[in-house]
Structure 1
Amino acid sequence: MAATASRARPGRWLLALAAVGVLAGCGGGPAQNISLIPGNQIEAQSRRDGLFVQPVKWQHTKPGCQGECPSIKLESLVFPSVPRLTQLVDHALAMMTGVNAKRIPPYSTVAGYEEYFWKTAAPRDSTMLSAKARYRSKYLTVIELDTWQYLTGAAHGLSATQFLNWDNSRQGVLSLDQVLLPGKHQAYVEALRAAHQRWLASNPDARHDPATYNRLWPFQPSDNYAFSDDGLVVKYDSYQIAPYSAGQPELRIPYAELAGILKPEYLPSASR
């Protein structure tokens, strides 16, 4: 695997999902007076009405290997009532590993990736694949997909994250453009920029030398969003807007700042 594999941008594997017909379309929309974000419930309450989910976990090393051996660890999710979503999660995790930023990998499932990995991995290569539910309600299921890959001889592993915002009733992933009002993408970017400024204000390294930090790690727009109880969460990979030591920054845009930007059905009633 190329050293840049784990930093391949999410857009590529989303295109691959569409190409194989896994990504469901989301035509139409709910009535404007229905809120898909229950404003009077916290996540612990709203998840009771969400899709039933079961965990799946395993850790494998290369068959027949002795001594230092490549390994894969999986902590994922199965949705027994929605096999399409289970398939999507599996496919997306596999595609996020990447083998070359310029082409689609020669596999489409975690099982296929494992087979490929044993053929190509160096002795200390390691991959961790994770899928977890960040938010669940009657209407929406938000899944965070994480990959971490260490290549033998590298200074450290590299991680990548992608959110899937699944519409339970329409059986499909909601892209950012599908939840924004027409013509409001730039307004979303400005709201994200304001969230970035708040994040900088809480970042000791950025406060120490703001000019240098902003020059080295300027703001970048992102469509890697997730619904939550109190706003949209936007998460970045390592090295996108901060050094490796900062991990994977999360910016939060409160729903109150998204009124007139998000479609009304994606706002709690109190935020409209």
Structure 2
Amino acid sequence: MKKILIITTLAASLLSLTACQKPDQSTEQVKASPAATSAPQSVTNPLDVKVLKASYNLPACSGEGCVQVDIQRLQTNKPWINQFLDQKILALSNVQLSEKQPTLTTLQANVDRFVQAAKQDSIARGAPVPYTMQVTPEFLGEKGDIGLFKISAAFYSGGAHGSAFDNYYNLDLKQKKQLQLADLLLPEQQPKLYELVHQQYADWVKQNDLSADLSKYEQDWPFKLTDNFTFSEDGLVLAYGQYEIGPYAVGMPEFTIPYAQLAGIIKPEYLAAPLQLQKMQLQDPQPDVEKDASPRAD
């Protein structure tokens, strides 16, 4: 089975989304709906987020085995957020399909290389191989001065199954940086958080009949805290990727620690549920899209 590795090299920003077929040149306004519980009101300007949807310059293709590419981006009223998310999207689209690590250049170059790999694979197999690439960013809402984002990605390049990613990004709107898990913690409280999440991990192992012996299972799939986290209405959510703490069959598990259990462990400003936690209310598509927004490496 061919494994897909994602190169985490970051490149400069702004994506150009053009298509050989007529693109859907609509933008969708994204607003967050109020959550049931409240958090401190943000002192910064509220985030204004649009989803820009389009496909890319793909060669003409019909019948079986055509490469499918669907990549979106977000346009906000914060240029530094646009650049940050565009870099993440560009890196995710830079799929490694061979031993040689690809150079991070432009989104179009990444797509072209993906299409070429599919063509070569189909020739080698003597049958069409329907490669697919999908990268979908989402605005999840705001929590005080934190913007909550998620980028999901899915790839297939032959083999028994594809690969998928759910990456969360919590952006401090005042300090203009991504929050890490350590930024949330009170001094010397990491062991207590570890204990809370590890207990959920142990329960998850048991509930999924992964092993009757937790210590033996953990030798193969060791548990660790992760910087891939977000905030929900119920608590702090830690998300794990495929093959990170279990085999492919278990998917991408997430563990939620209720805010009540986090008192005295994380800083008070992070204890309340997000004021605006959206379920992606898409409103009033606009007719124009940004032009010439292709990310290139410096």
TM-score by structure 1 length? 0.72
State the partner residue of 1:268.
Answer: 272
For the residue of structure 2 that corresponds to 1:121, the secondary structure is: helix
1:71 aligned partner = 68
Alpha-carbon separation, structure 2, partners of 1:101 and 1:82:
37
Tell me the equivalent position of 1:148. Answer: 154
The superposition leaves residues 11-58 of structure 1 with CA deviations (integer Å, 9 ceiling, x where unpaired) of xx3xx44x8699xxxxxxxxxxxxxxx99428xx99xx8411111223
Query: Cα deviations across residues 82-130 of structure 1 (Å, max 9, x unaligned)?
Result: 1221222121022134427998742255344224333433452211101
Compute the displacement of 1:224 (Å).
1.0
Tell me which stretches of 4 or more aligned residues in structure 1 moved more than 4 Å. Answer: 19-22, 100-105, 208-218
C-alpha distance after superposition, 1:163-204 (max 9, x if no partner):
110112222211122222233333322222123234345x34
1:188 equivalent in alignment to 2:184: no
Given that residues 39 and 268 in structure 1 are in contact (C-alpha distance below 8 angstroms), is that contact kept between their aligned partners in structure 2? no
Separation (CA, whole Å) in 2 of partners of 1:108 and 1:204: 42
Report the CA distance shift for 1:57/1:125 in structure 2 as closer, same or farther (over 3 A). same
Aligned to 1:51: 47
Question: What letter corresponds to residue 4 of structure 2 in structure 1?
Answer: T
1:139 maps to: 145
Q: Secondary structure at the match of 1:233?
A: strand
Q: Secondary structure at the match of 2:164?
A: strand
Say yes or no: does 1:127 pair with 2:123: no
Which segments of 5 or more consecutive residues in structure 1 lack a partner in the other structure? Answer: 23-37
Partner SS state of residue 106, structure 1: coil
Task: Give the partner amino acid of 2:136.
Answer: S
**Contact (CA 8 Å) 1:61, 1:71: kept in 2 or not?**
no
Partner of 2:230: 226
Contact 1:138 1:168 in 2 (8 A): no
Q: Number of residues paired by the alignment?
A: 237
Structure 2: state its 5+ residue gaps: 15-34, 120-128, 274-298
More helix by share: 1
Structure 1 residues 194, 52: CA separation in 2 closer, same or farther (over 3 Å shift)? same
Q: Which residue of 1 aligns with 2:252?
A: 248
| Secondary structure of the structure 2 residue equivalent to 1:96 | helix
Matching residue's letter, 2:270: Y
Q: TM-score, normalised by structure 2?
A: 0.66
Bigger RCO of structures 1 and 2 (CA < 8 A, at least 6 apart): 2
1:4 maps to 4
Q: Is the 8 A contact 1:205 1:213 kept in 2?
A: no
1:72-221 pair list within 5 angstroms: 72-79=69-76, 81-97=77-93, 98-99=95-96, 105-107=102-104, 110-122=107-119, 123-152=129-158, 154-200=159-205, 203-206=207-210, 209=212, 217-221=221-225
Judge conservation of contact 2:13–2:87 (CA < 8 Å) in 1: no
Distance 1:104 1:93, change over 3 A: farther
Contact kept? 2:240, 2:253, Cα under 8 Å: yes
Tell me if the contact between 1:127 and 1:149 (Cα under 8 Å) persists in the aligned partners. Answer: yes
RMSD: 3.5
Describe the SS at the equivalent of 2:148: strand
Percent pairwise identity: 28
Q: Name the CA distance, whole Å, in 2 between partners of 1:268 and 1:66.
A: 52
The residue type paired with residue 263 of structure 1 is K
Letter matched to residue 172 of structure 1: K
Contact preservation (8 Å) 1:91, 1:110: no
What displacement does 1:261 show?
2.1
Preserved CA contact (<8 Å) 1:50 1:139: no
SS of the equivalent of 1:107 reads coil
CA distance in 1, matches of 2:105, 2:149: 19
1:236 matches 2:204: no
Check whether the contact 2:229–2:236 (CA below 8 A) recurs between aligned residues: yes
Match of 1:258 among 248, 259, 262: 262
